[in-house]
Amino acid sequence: MKVISFINHKGGVGKTTLAFNYAHYLGQKNKVLFMDLDPQMAATFLFDNFEDKAFVGRIFREETVTPSAVTKNIDLLNSGSGLRLLEIKSFLHARPARAHLLKKYLAAAADKYDYCVIDTAPQIDMLLDSTIMNSQVCIIPVQSEILPILGLEAINKLIEEIRLAGNNAINYFVAVNMFSKVTNLQKKILAEMKAKYPKIVLENYIRRSIAVVEAQERKTPIFKSKKEVAADFLRMFRELDRKMVT
């Protein structure tokens, strides 16, 4: 099972949208486990499943957890209703050794799934550290703007530290989201990003489009639609396929 995490400690960069759509993309031909580790529960809302038996926080309390089947090939571990996952984060802060239970759960699930897609909270904490440590691939969604790029440097440093701490095999890629080709500043920043991080910034980007928001309202993956932006998602996902193979 390949574990793919979507991470960024800055919110509003489209992390959940990419994770949700990528899980559906992979689920066309593979068995996928989706874990929502964000207390804001956006992915859980998109999958429209809050079953208590599938609350991801049960992993860290060593309770029985049973993923909910949300499509034919996608099972979900949800982030709970309300802000329930925040209680787990507080629990982990008091008992940090419990974060290793994520590794234990993923190892037990490895024979049941081809992929595990993890959506994370927009903050740096021990749960994010544990997620990165147990991932083979991390996707970092960013906007081609000044403040998100500053955040990228912090995430890049964190991943390199985790590599030194033991996960030398991790690969990570930067996915440019909500891009506007008509904005000269965004084009300039994108060029600078590719120059600074030539090996990790994906060539394909996703344009800003109201169609993405409309798909979220319907709780459906945008890449299956006939909208122009759907082609952006597919090109990016196919590029990820190629990079993960190589």
Sheet holding 137-142, edge to edge: 68-69, 74-77, 32-37, 115-120, 2-6, 137-142, 171-176
pLDDT tier, 88 (very low <50, low <70, confident <90, very high otherwise): confident
Closest CA to 229 of 245, 206, 213: 206
Instruction: With a cut of 90, say whether residue 92 has pLDDT above it.
Output: no
Residue 162 has pLDDT above 90, yes or no: no
Q: What is the mean pLDDT of the chain?
A: 88
Q: Is the pLDDT of residue 98 over 90?
A: no
Contact 233, 14 (CB under 8 A): no
DSSP H helical segments within the chain, as ranges?
15-26, 42-47, 84-94, 101-109, 126-133, 146-165, 184-196, 210-218, 228-245
Q: What is the mean pLDDT of residues 24-38?
A: 96
pTM value?
A: 0.91
Distances (CA, A) of 238 to 157, 199, 223: 27, 17, 12
Neighbours of 171 (CB within 10 A): 16
Choose between 129 and 234: higher pLDDT: 234
